Amino acid sequence: MPEWNGVCAPTLDDMTEMALAARAALPAAFAPAAASVALIVEDFAEPALLAEMQIEDPFELTGVYEGIPLPEKSVMDMPTAPDTIRLFRRPILDEWADRGDIALEALVAHVYVHELAHHFGWSDDEIAAIDEWWT
């Protein structure tokens, strides 16, 4: 994956492409289920979501999974919305700038895989098998 070397900060679309590249790099066994999770990249989480999660500083939330994890799903569940991963561009960029030791694409992939882990119900060991940076 090439490193971000743009003159300007990446747009929402740029960051979406980074997350989609991370999804495309997943092992084939996970690809269909991962593709079924909607992906939305926004600058920040909505105030209502931050309040629900009891987060005061919007820069503290880089991503969130919204949905029912696969191990908890039942054929009796009536979905009210699609399972969704939301990534928050500004907090990710802030963390990237603060760290200074990782490519932006790798950080976006890490946040994406972490949120996808909530969908799959993965343990930290399972996350580390896909996202080597996790360890």
pLDDT at residue 135 in the model: 47
Beta-bridge mates of residue 41:
87
Please report whether residue 54 resides in a domain. Answer: yes
Please report whether residue 126 resides in a domain. Answer: yes
Angle between helices 12-24 and 89-99 (to 10 degrees): 80
Please report whether residue 89 resides in a domain. Answer: yes
- How much is the pTM? 0.86
Per-residue pLDDT of 54-71, as tens digits, reads 999 999 999 999 998 888
pLDDT at residue 29 in the model: 87
Instruction: Look at 120 and 87; give whichever has higher pLDDT.
Output: 87
Please report whether residue 65 resides in a domain. Answer: yes
Please report whether residue 111 resides in a domain. Answer: yes
Please report whether residue 1 resides in a domain. Answer: no
At residue 121, does pLDDT exceed 70? yes
CB 15 within 8 A of CB 117: no
Distance CA 103, CA 97 (A): 10
pLDDT at residue 76 in the model: 78
Sheet holding 38-42, edge to edge: 38-42, 84-88, 63-66
Per-residue pLDDT of 1-55, as tens digits, reads 556 666 688 999 999 999 999 999 998 988 898 999 999 999 999 999 999 999 9
Give the residue numbers spanning the domain of 85: 12-69+81-134
Number of folded domains that form the chain: 1
Please report whether residue 5 resides in a domain. Answer: no
Burial annotation 90-127 (CB, 10 A radius, 16+ → b, else e): ebbbebbeeeeeebbbbbbbbbbbbbbbbbbebeeeeb
At residue 132, does pLDDT exceed 80? no
Per-residue pLDDT of 69-111, as tens digits, reads 888 888 777 777 899 999 999 999 999 999 989 999 999 999 9
Here the CATH number for the domain that contains residue 26 is 3.30.2010.20
Please report whether residue 7 resides in a domain. Answer: no
